[in-house]
């Protein structure tokens, strides 16, 4: 019998990145196998040109130090950057990031990590009094812009980004994520749209403790970039996701906006909706739009945003990218597809689709309050 032949190629490029996140509110740690399993269900959303993970709680022994993950194209770039680090930071420990040679990931840069803290007598103190976080941000910007062949892809405390060119499940094997434990994980499967698929361009994008994985396209990139440059952020990567990371750093760390308010800057309600609000709320939202108009993200997006206190998942204002959430006990899961959640949690307590522009925010329940502020003596 003749089989009907499709004269067109059945190999279709399914455009659309995939993302997922897992958080345990009580900071119970899991290894990287669940997040790998979850993102691998979304394999066909990417095309092998970028995969990556962020994990929180993975460096408990160095929790007070900034963990720099740096990729180098050459050993000379490494030597140059290390000279800068030695002049400005106390390096408690440095080592090659452990990797596993899988046939799926070839052609990778040197991957090195440093557990460091800024020196109190570092040279820049002659000119200004920067706090440690600010100095770290400046250093990341400086290295990424001025040191050829070097790129800092992670700079937070007790967290780390692990990313590269490849499918996420292969990147997970490459970085041996099943040997890493953390209480929060995010993952990304990339289908590059506007910028090339290169090691640094994979998600997550991180700065200090902020990490972002993103599916979509930010059409307001130009105006966001110009706005951030006024605050001395250097957008060296020419990609929209980087801009989201820096906007959140600016709003939350520098301008001290509560997370929820910062998120309404990114996905502000439309004016017609604000007009229907009453009193104080209307005033607040109007003010946010007026002050932070240039930080508004336009265009389709779904993001998962990790920070020291928790995780946020959010859509653009008219839901042009998929996002599903579920919870099971202390675990909350988010993903582009429900199947990615079911792969690691077959019967969640609840499954829901977040509304457009309304963030899912999960923060850690701190058990040891006395440790946090140091004020309550026990």
Q: Does 79 bind other proteins (CB under 8 A)?
A: no
d(CA 224, CA 6): 45
For residue 119, what is the enclosing H or E element? none
d(CA 97, CA 113): 6
Return the residue of 91, 97, 259, 356 that touches other proteins, per CB under 8 A.
356
Q: Does 253 bind other proteins (CB under 8 A)?
A: no
Return the residue of 318, 329, 349, 369 that touches other proteins, per CB under 8 A.
318
CB of 37 to other proteins, least distance (A): 11
Which one is catalytic: 2, 5, 7, 17? 17
Q: Does 353 bind other proteins (CB under 8 A)?
A: yes
Per CB under 8 A, the segment of 36-44, 163-171, 192-200, 237-245 that binds other proteins is: 36-44
Return the residue of 294, 319, 328, 363 that touches other proteins, per CB under 8 A.
319
Q: Does 170 bind other proteins (CB under 8 A)?
A: no
In terms of phi and psi (left: phi > 0; alpha: psi -120 to 50; beta: otherwise), the region of 285 is alpha
Q: Is 17 a catalytic residue?
A: yes
Of 85 and 345, the one with the shorter C-beta distance to other proteins is 345
d(CA 59, CA 14): 36
Q: Where are the alpha helices (DSSP H) in 105-258?
A: 132-146, 168-174, 221-230, 240-248
CB of 234 to other proteins, least distance (A): 37
d(CA 369, CA 372): 5
Contact residues for 148 (Cβ-Cβ < 8 A; gap 6+): 73, 77
Q: Does 340 bind other proteins (CB under 8 A)?
A: yes
Which of the 8 DSSP states describes residue 252? I
Backbone phi and psi for residue 178, each to the nearest 5 degrees, phi listed first: -70, -15
Strand partners, 76: none
Per CB under 8 A, the segment of 55-63, 215-223, 302-310, 332-340 that binds other proteins is: 332-340
CB of 319 to other proteins, least distance (A): 5
CB of 162 to other proteins, least distance (A): 24
Q: Does 337 bind other proteins (CB under 8 A)?
A: yes
Per CB under 8 A, the segment of 27-35, 55-63, 232-240, 349-357 that binds other proteins is: 349-357
Sign of the dihedral through C-alpha 247, 253, 257, 260: positive
Q: Does 104 bind other proteins (CB under 8 A)?
A: no
d(CA 358, CA 312): 10
Q: Does 71 bind other proteins (CB under 8 A)?
A: no
d(CA 133, CA 142): 14
Return the residue of 75, 287, 339, 376 that touches other proteins, per CB under 8 A.
339
Q: Does 343 bind other proteins (CB under 8 A)?
A: yes
Of 207 and 344, the one with the shorter C-beta distance to other proteins is 344
Q: Does 20 bind other proteins (CB under 8 A)?
A: no
Grouping H, G, I as helix, E, B as strand and the rest as coil, residue 244 is: helix
Of 24 and 40, the one with the shorter C-beta distance to other proteins is 40
CB 299 within 8 A of CB 326: no
Return the residue of 78, 116, 342, 364 that touches other proteins, per CB under 8 A.
342
CB of 39 to other proteins, least distance (A): 11
Sign of the dihedral through C-alpha 216, 220, 226, 229: negative
CB 333 within 8 A of CB 348: yes
CA 94 to chain centre: 23
Catalytic residues: 17
Give the residues lining the site for other proteins (CB under 8 A): 1, 10, 14, 41-42, 44, 318-319, 322, 324, 337-340, 342-343, 351, 353, 355-356
């Amino acid at each position: 019998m003749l089989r009907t032949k499709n004269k067109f190629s059945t190999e279709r490029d399914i455009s659309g990145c995939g993302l997922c996140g897992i958080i345990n509110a009580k900071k119970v740690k899991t290894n990287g196998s669940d997040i790998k399993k979850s993102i691998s269900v979304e394999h066909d959303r990417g095309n092998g040109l970028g995969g990556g993970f962020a994990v929180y709680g993975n460096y408990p022994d160095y929790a007070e130090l900034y963990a720099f993950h740096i990729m180098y194209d050459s050993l000379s770039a490494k030597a140059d950057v290390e000279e800068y680090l030695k002049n400005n930071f106390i390096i408690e420990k440095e080592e090659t990031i452990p990797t596993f040679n899988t046939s799926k990931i070839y052609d990778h840069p040197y991957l090195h990590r440093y557990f460091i803290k800024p020196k109190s007598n570092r040279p820049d103190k002659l000119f200004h009094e920067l706090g440690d976080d600010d100095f770290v941000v400046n250093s990341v910007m400086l290295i990424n812009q001025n040191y050829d062949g070097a790129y800092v892809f992670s700079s937070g405390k007790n967290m780390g980004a692990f990313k590269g060119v490849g499918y996420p499940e292969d990147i997970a094997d490459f970085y041996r994520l099943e040997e890493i434990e953390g209480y929060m994980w995010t993952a990304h499967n990339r289908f590059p749209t506007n910028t090339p698929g290169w090691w640094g361009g994979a998600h997550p994008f991180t700065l200090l403790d902020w990490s972002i994985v993103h599916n979509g396209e930010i059409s307001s990139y130009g105006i966001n970039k110009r706005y951030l440059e006024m605050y001395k952020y250097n957008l060296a990567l020419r990609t929209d996701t980087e801009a989201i990371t820096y906007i959140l750093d600016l709003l939350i760390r520098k301008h001290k906006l509560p997370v929820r308010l910062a998120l309404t800057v990114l996905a502000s309600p439309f004016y017609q909706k604000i007009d229907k609000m009453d009193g104080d709320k209307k005033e607040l939202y109007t003010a946010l739009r007026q002050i932070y108009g240039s930080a508004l993200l336009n265009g389709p997006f779904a993001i998962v945003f990790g920070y020291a206190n928790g995780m946020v998942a959010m859509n653009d204002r008219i839901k042009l990218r998929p996002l599903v959430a579920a919870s099971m006990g202390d675990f909350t899961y988010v993903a582009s597809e429900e199947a990615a959640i079911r792969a690691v949690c077959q019967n969640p307590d609840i499954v829901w689709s977040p509304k457009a522009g309304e963030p899912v925010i999960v923060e850690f329940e701190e058990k040891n309050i006395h440790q946090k502020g140091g004020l309550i003596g026990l």
